[in-house]
Structure 1
Amino acid sequence: MISLISLIFYVLQRLIQVYILAIVVYALLSWFPGAYQTGLGRLLARIVEPFQSWFNWAHLGMIGFAPLVAILVLTGVQYGLQYVQILLLNLLY
Structure 2
Amino acid sequence: MLAGLINAIITLFTIAIFGRVILTFITPLSGARPHPVLVTINSFVFQITEPVLGPIRRSLPSFGGFDFSPMAVLIILILLRRVVDSVL
Gaps of 5+ in 2: none
Report 1 or 2 for greater relative contact order, CA contacts < 8 Å, sequence distance ≥ 6.
2
Counting aligned pairs with the same residue, the percent is 17
- TM-score, normalization by structure 2: 0.80
- TM-score, normalization by structure 1: 0.76
Aligned residues: 78
Query: Following TM superposition, by how much is the alpha carbon of 1:54 offset from its aligned partner in structure 2, in angstroms?
Result: 2.0
| Larger Rg belongs to | 1
2:18 & 2:61 partners in 1: Cα distance?
A: 16
Moved over 2 A (4+): none
Query: Going by fraction, where is strand more abundant, 1 or 2?
Result: 1
**Aligned residue runs from structure 1 range 1-93, under 5 A:** 7-32=1-26, 33=28, 38-56=39-57, 57-85=60-88
Gaps of 5+ in 1: 1-6, 86-93
Question: Aligned pair in 2 of structure 1 residues 23, 58: CA closer, same or farther (>3 Å)?
Answer: farther
